[in-house]
């Protein structure tokens, strides 16, 4: 995994909002901004991009082309991840995907945000209720046991 970073103090928030969208569309695994204090009393932003090594050059080029920066720095990071799987549950507000993550005795599940957001908009029900109903349906499936067993 690579982490690419650059500090920006001469570019407005408007452009940075646009940049995040662009980086994510070009295979960045994650993009995040950190508010930082830079010299001459300048509120700045540190742009961080996490990516696969094969995407590093392309993403660095976007940073050099679309921002005001004169240089980017990068370093390698080792990444440990859980396995993931998607399970669809049926709710009063339509199908919602549940993101299941597991490995090393860990098991976690959470409803997919975009599905919940859409259902919340369509049915005029609060996001919280959609989440809760989706998780309740999911708990009926008893997936946890099966996943952990099949990983023994």
The answer to whether 1 contacts its own copies (rule: CB under 8 A) is yes
Q: Which residues, other chains included, contact 100 with Cβ-Cβ below 8 Å and sequence gap of 6+?
A: 84, 85, 86, 87, 107, 108, 109, 143, 147
Q: Is 13 in the site for its own copies (CB under 8 A)?
A: yes
Pick 81 or 152: Cβ nearer its own copies: 81
| 43 or 149: CB nearest its own copies | 43
Tell me which of 26, 52, 53, 76 binds its own copies, using CB under 8 A.
Answer: 76
Alpha-carbon distance 56 to 96, whole Å? 34
Give residues 29-68 in contact with its own copies (rule: CB under 8 A).
Answer: 30-46, 48, 50, 60-61, 64-66, 68
- Among the listed residues 78, 86, 150, 152, the single contact to its own copies using CB under 8 A: 78
Tell which residue, 82, 116, 115, 87, has the closest CA to residue 99.
87
Question: Distance between CA atoms of 44 and 9, rounded to whole angstroms?
Answer: 4
Whose tokens are 């300048």? That residue is: 42
Does 72 bind its own copies (CB under 8 A)? Our answer is: yes
């Amino acid at each position: 995994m690579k982490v690419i970073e650059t500090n920006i103090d001469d570019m407005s928030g408007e452009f940075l909002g646009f940049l995040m969208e662009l980086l994510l569309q070009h295979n960045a695994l994650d993009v995040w901004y950190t508010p930082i204090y830079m010299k001459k009393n300048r509120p700045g932003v540190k742009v961080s991009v996490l990516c696969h090594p094969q995407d590093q050059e392309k993403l660095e080029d976007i940073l050099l082309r679309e921002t005001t920066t004169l240089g980017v720095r990068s370093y390698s990071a080792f990444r440990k991840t859980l396995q993931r799987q998607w399970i669809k549950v049926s709710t009063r507000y339509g199908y919602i995907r549940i993101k299941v993550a597991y490995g090393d005795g860990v098991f976690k599940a959470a409803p997919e945000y975009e599905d919940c957001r859409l259902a919340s908009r369509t049915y005029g029900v609060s996001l919280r209720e959609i989440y809760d109903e989706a998780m309740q349906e999911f708990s009926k499936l008893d997936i946890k046991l099966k996943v952990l067993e099949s990983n023994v």
